[in-house]
Amino acid sequence: MLEDIIKERLRKKKDLENLGRDVYPSKIKRTHLIADALGSFAALAKQKKKVFIAGRVIGLRIQGGVGFADVQDGSGAKIQVVLKKDILADFNVLKNDLDIGDFLEVSGPLFKTQRGEKSVDVKSARIIVKSLRPLPSVWHGLKDVEERFRKRYLDLILNADVKEQLARRSQIVEYIRNFLTKEGFLEMETPILQPIPGGANARPFVTHHNALDADFYLRVAPELYLKRLLIGGFEKIFEIGRNFRNEGIDRDHNPEFTALELYWAYQDYEGLMKFTQGLLKKFIPGKWKTVAFAEVFKKFAGRDWKTAKSGELEEIYKKEVRPKIVEPTFVVDYPESIMPLAKLKENDPALTESFQVIVNGVEIIKGFSELNDPAIQRAQMERQEKSFRAGNPEASRLDEDFLEALEYGMPPAAGLGLGIDRLAALVAKSHSVKEIIAFPTLRPKE
């Protein structure tokens, strides 16, 4: 059936071309987005002003000498266009060769039909894109959830809420960027291809640079490069960009994801917590709780965190503790083994000056007072390197270049990482980050 539909549409395309019609023109005339035309409908209709609109045909009814098409554009709005045989020289061409899914350019004044529907009284019309495949709603429907992600373009055409979610995600990024810029932060860019993966405990993706004949890693985090900028003299910096972690896929994880990393010289984790609440109050309103890691671990895991082996501690926290934290909460003072790049607390060196923002069991932000003692940092990295060589693929690596940079002196600073995908999913009340990533990673089809 699909093959027959495609064959028929190809025939229509050929018919249009034989009539001298360009079904993929480059020059399009459009004076109004549909949403704007509808927003100014009364004034435009009263003036009988001709408008030009262009968009995709999502509904079509042609009988006798009159046709009705529903046209939708990127504004998200749709409008009915009325085609009349006694006005349009190309009426029969449109009647024979126009299909749902095609793009149409029309011009004419706005008016209301006898049923009161806002419409365009079309004086000229032309097909500006001939669609060769039927939309799923016309053919069999786009029902498979994974197919929605594989063919996101169809998902966007058929589901207005998906388009709205992706637009909202873009607005969230814009808001964060503007907020930070107004607060005096400078946006930076750091390498995605890195000779040594670092800045987080995660298994990296590896690639090979042919000209240099050297392996590189897609960054798991920009942290160590942003700290090099702190060492170089920048005091308030951030980066919004892609990170890559060779890990499993679930509702909270995608192998490539967007994150904000921010560093603020002469600030500590407590000051950064206050700043964080100001940054996110637009998206997470209300009062936030603050609770110590030891307290919440005891409450939900049922024991003192010190009784757990260091290699198991983080897993216990992720599986037994964090999922049970529902209200917006700052969990503070994590053990050093979980936050190896954070500054140790003076009154308890087993803990760090650190925090996470947890909402609905999901980590949205991780932040801490940055470790800037080269000796302690070296010891931490050596321990992580030892773990890597013992078979832990997620352990951070020892980075001699970064350690050398740190020996020149990095100012006291606080920093954080914010998961843009997770925040957008939270705002959209989505059950999975896949819903708000335009093209999530999927298993290749056989």
What is the chain's mean pLDDT, rounded? Answer: 94
Confidence of residue 138 (pLDDT cuts 50, 70, 90): very low
Please give the C-alpha separations between residue 324 and each of 252, 311, 315, 332, 335, in angstroms, as whole numbers: 15, 21, 14, 16, 19
- DSSP letter string over 119-187? EEE-SEEEEEE---S--HHHHT----HHHHHHTHHHHHHH-HHHHHHHHHHHHHHHHHHHHHHHTTPEE
Q: Among residues of the chain, what percentage have pLDDT more than 70?
A: 98
Q: State both tokens at 47.
A: 């003036």
Query: Measured on CA atoms in the order 430, 421, 204, 351, is the torsion positive or negative?
Result: negative
The per-residue pLDDT for 212 is 97
pLDDT digits (tens, 9 = 90+) for 227-237: 999 999 999 99
CATH of 2-141, one of 3.30.70.20, 1.10.287.1080, 2.40.50.140, 3.40.50.150: 2.40.50.140
The structural domains of the chain, with segments of one domain joined by +, span: 2-141, 154-436
Confidence of residue 137 (pLDDT cuts 50, 70, 90): low
8 A C-beta contact, residue 172 and residue 420: yes
Q: For residue 250, which phi and psi values (nearest 5 degrees)?
A: -150, -165
Instruction: Report yes or no on whether pTM surpasses 0.95.
Output: no
Looking at residues 11-29, what average pLDDT do you find? 97
Q: Where are the alpha helices (DSSP H) in 183-309?
A: 223-232, 269-280, 293-301
Looking at residues 61-74, what average pLDDT do you find? 96
Q: Which amino acid is located at 156 in the chain? A: L
Looking at residues 332-354, what average pLDDT do you find? 91
The per-residue pLDDT for 145 is 76
Is 363 flagged in the annotation as binding? Answer: yes
Cα(7)–Cα(1) distance, rounded to whole angstroms?
10
The per-residue pLDDT for 142 is 55
CA angle 48, 52, 54 (to 5 degrees): 140
The per-residue pLDDT for 140 is 47
Cα(116)–Cα(363) distance, rounded to whole angstroms?
50
pLDDT at 141 over 80: no
Three-state DSSP class for residue 262:
strand
Confidence of residue 84 (pLDDT cuts 50, 70, 90): very high
Looking at residues 105-129, what average pLDDT do you find? 97
pLDDT digits (tens, 9 = 90+) for 414-434: 999 999 999 999 999 998 999
Looking at residues 387-411, what average pLDDT do you find? 94
The per-residue pLDDT for 143 is 60
The per-residue pLDDT for 139 is 42
The per-residue pLDDT for 339 is 87
Looking at residues 174-198, what average pLDDT do you find? 97
The per-residue pLDDT for 412 is 97
- CA dihedral 97→101→102→105, nearest 10 degrees, is 120
pLDDT digits (tens, 9 = 90+) for 286-310: 889 999 999 999 999 999 999 998 6
Looking at per-residue pLDDT, the higher value among 144 and 366 belongs to 366
**154-436, which class in CATH?**
alpha beta
Looking at per-residue pLDDT, the higher value among 389 and 1 belongs to 389
